[in-house]
Amino acid sequence: MTSQQSNLSERLFSTVQHAPETSTIAFVGRRPHTQQEPAPYVDGADLPGFYRLQKRAFWHWLGFDSIEVEATLARMAAAPGPRSVDGWLDTVNEYRPGNWVFEWSRLGAEAQQRAREADTPEQTRRECLAAARYFSLASYPHLKGDRLALQAQLLANQAYREAGRLLPVPLKELRIPFNGKEVQGYLHLPANDRPLPLVIVSGSLDSLQLDFWRFYERYLAPAGIAMLTVDMPGVGYSSHWPLVQDSSRLHQAVLHHVPNIPWVDERRVAMLGVRMGGNVAARLASLEPFRLRAVVSIAGAANLFFTERDRFMRAPAMLRDSIANRMGMKSNDWEGVYQHCRGLSLKTQGLMGRSSPVPLLSIGHRHDFLCPEPEIQALAAASRCGEALVLDKLPLLQVYETSLARTRDWLLAHL
């Protein structure tokens, strides 16, 4: 890396140099590091020594180079200086070498520089997408109030929009009115010469809209399906709305706005949700049967995690912080957070017992912590035309491909 690139990276966050470190955002006071039993299966990623869930397989699938990921994590592990929690390698204080936001943002700045120096639009777009991935990972898990992460998140979206301008059909930015504010989403179109079927996509409480580019590029665009991404409440562009029992209110507003989008066919609309996004998708299958043609829930957190106290109490630290942060709470009072979260259960709300006419595909891993096999089956049973795909194999990369290929086929069959 040149000195110019290094200086660029270091200047990006100069105004928030001494901002609080991520693991302190949703937890009040000095956080003790306790060795607890890992959750059985949270994306295969609850590894000791890190505050953040290390979703290495998912990052590789997104396009990160695995060797570069390991080298970056090694730099964090070897970094001297104080950490917020001594037992967590990724909690180096302040924006400097070894700090999570610093290390990934430095790689993002390098990719931005390569984009500026690229010889072709295709190379520029590729490097802009790489920059967006790096800055997005720098922001992870995207906690509201994390000033360093917010800077990275702004740069991630800036790079994503720059890449979007170079697509065959340029990326559209939608701003949909809701309760005096706006729900902001990215509309991806494989063509603009006819109205296209549309899938509305949302992820978990620790993901951004940018995380679905690979899914669109590899599966939806070749199938001629448009994609509208929407952040979950409390995350990204939706950070000014807290997560509440009516978890689908933002997405419902988006769904009602679809007839006003000129590039899509309002009669052929589906929703795909991952993790908490699966909760939203299944909820809308019950509430909006005349507006949705199909729904896919991938590892959807619909009931068991919110109602089984022992399961909830075993949640890893980052997951605790993410949930509390989206609800406007602190994770110190995990019992209090649990009481609030019980209302998020679709069974408690009386929605999982219904038989929705919307075809619903429920996908998950048999041993998943948030959505184990009984939950996968229960979500499918909530639809008259529901199906369950229960996976129990490794490696995770193969699981991703199987899940998303089945998702594409399901959407094509029903749209």
| Distances, alpha carbon 237 to alpha carbons 30, 42, 55, 289, in Å | 30, 25, 23, 27
Whether the per-residue pLDDT at 6 is higher than 50: the answer is no
Low-confidence winner among 13-17, 96-100, 169-173, 185-189 (lowest mean pLDDT):
13-17
Under 8 Å between Cβ of 388 and 415: no
Whether the per-residue pLDDT at 126 is higher than 60: the answer is yes
Contact partners, residue 73, CB within 8 Å, separation at least 6: 54, 89, 90
Between the two ends of the chain, the Cα-to-Cα distance in Å is 48
User: Same domain, yes or no, for 118 and 187?
Assistant: no
Peptide bond into 82 cis (omega under 30): no
Q: Tell me whether residue 75 is exposed, middle or buried, using C-beta atoms within 10 angstroms of its C-beta: 0 to 12, 13 to 18, 19 or more.
A: middle
Give the residue-averaged pLDDT of 250-269: 97
The answer to the question of residue 282 being in a domain is yes
User: Same domain, yes or no, for 110 and 176?
Assistant: no
Identify the three-state secondary structure at position 226.
Answer: strand
Question: Cα–Cα distance between 317 and 46 in angstroms, integer?
Answer: 10
Could you tell me the two tokens for 18?
A: 């001494």
Give the residue-averaged pLDDT of 293-311: 96
**Orientation angle between helical segments 100-117 and 147-164, nearest 10 degrees:** 20
Whether the per-residue pLDDT at 344 is higher than 80: the answer is yes
DSSP character string of 79-148: --S-BSSTT-TT-B-SSSTT-HHHHHHHHHHHHHHHHHH-SSHHHHHHHHHHHHHHHHHHHTT--TT-HH
User: Same domain, yes or no, for 324 and 255?
Assistant: yes
Under 8 Å between Cβ of 158 and 189: no
Contact partners, residue 71, CB within 8 Å, separation at least 6: none
Whether the per-residue pLDDT at 204 is higher than 80: the answer is yes
- The full length of the chain comes to 415
* Average pLDDT of the residues of the chain: 91
Residue 367 belongs to what domain range? Answer: 170-414
Question: Cα–Cα distance between 325 and 318 in angstroms, integer?
Answer: 10
Q: How many domains does the chain have?
A: 2
Question: Cα–Cα distance between 113 and 131 in angstroms, integer?
Answer: 9
Contact partners, residue 282, CB within 8 Å, separation at least 6: 273, 295, 297, 300, 302, 346, 351, 352, 360, 362, 379, 382
- The pLDDT assigned to 48 comes to 77
User: Same domain, yes or no, for 96 and 227?
Assistant: no
DSSP single-letter state for residue 343: G
DSSP single-letter state for residue 38: P
Whether the per-residue pLDDT at 3 is higher than 70: the answer is no
Under 8 Å between Cβ of 298 and 325: no
User: Same domain, yes or no, for 193 and 312?
Assistant: yes
- The pLDDT assigned to 36 comes to 54
Find where tokens 């790689």 sit.
107
Question: Cα–Cα distance between 371 and 399 in angstroms, integer?
Answer: 15
The answer to the question of residue 130 being in a domain is yes
- The pLDDT assigned to 232 comes to 97
User: Same domain, yes or no, for 243 and 141?
Assistant: no
Percent pLDDT > 70 in the chain is 91
User: What distance separates the 2 farthest-apart alpha carbons in the chain?
Assistant: 62
Give 206-223 pLDDT, tens digit per residue. 999 999 999 999 999 999
Give 389-409 pLDDT, tens digit per residue. 999 876 566 778 889 999 999
Could you tell me the two tokens for 303?
A: 């009931």
User: Same domain, yes or no, for 343 and 230?
Assistant: yes
| Distances, alpha carbon 316 to alpha carbons 89, 142, 160, 321, 323, in Å | 16, 16, 30, 9, 11
The answer to the question of residue 240 being in a domain is yes
Domain endpoint, select from 133, 158, 183: 158
Give 79-118 pLDDT, tens digit per residue. 998 999 998 999 999 999 999 999 999 999 999 999 999 9
Whether the per-residue pLDDT at 163 is higher than 70: the answer is yes
**Number of Cβ atoms within 10 Å of the Cβ of 277:** 30
Question: Cα–Cα distance between 300 and 307 in angstroms, integer?
Answer: 14
Assign 172 a pLDDT band (cuts: 50, 70, 90).
Answer: very high
**Orientation angle between helical segments 100-117 and 121-139, nearest 10 degrees:** 170
DSSP single-letter state for residue 249: H
Whether the per-residue pLDDT at 8 is higher than 90: the answer is no
Give the residue-averaged pLDDT of 168-178: 97
The answer to the question of residue 32 being in a domain is no
Looking up residue 284, the CATH number of its domain turns out to be 3.40.50.1820
User: Which residue, among 395, 401, 393, 406, has the nearest Cα to 362 in the 3D structure?
Assistant: 406
The answer to the question of residue 31 being in a domain is no
User: Same domain, yes or no, for 103 and 186?
Assistant: no
User: Same domain, yes or no, for 50 and 197?
Assistant: no
Q: What share of the chain is helix, strand, coil (3-state, %, to 5)?
A: 45, 15, 40
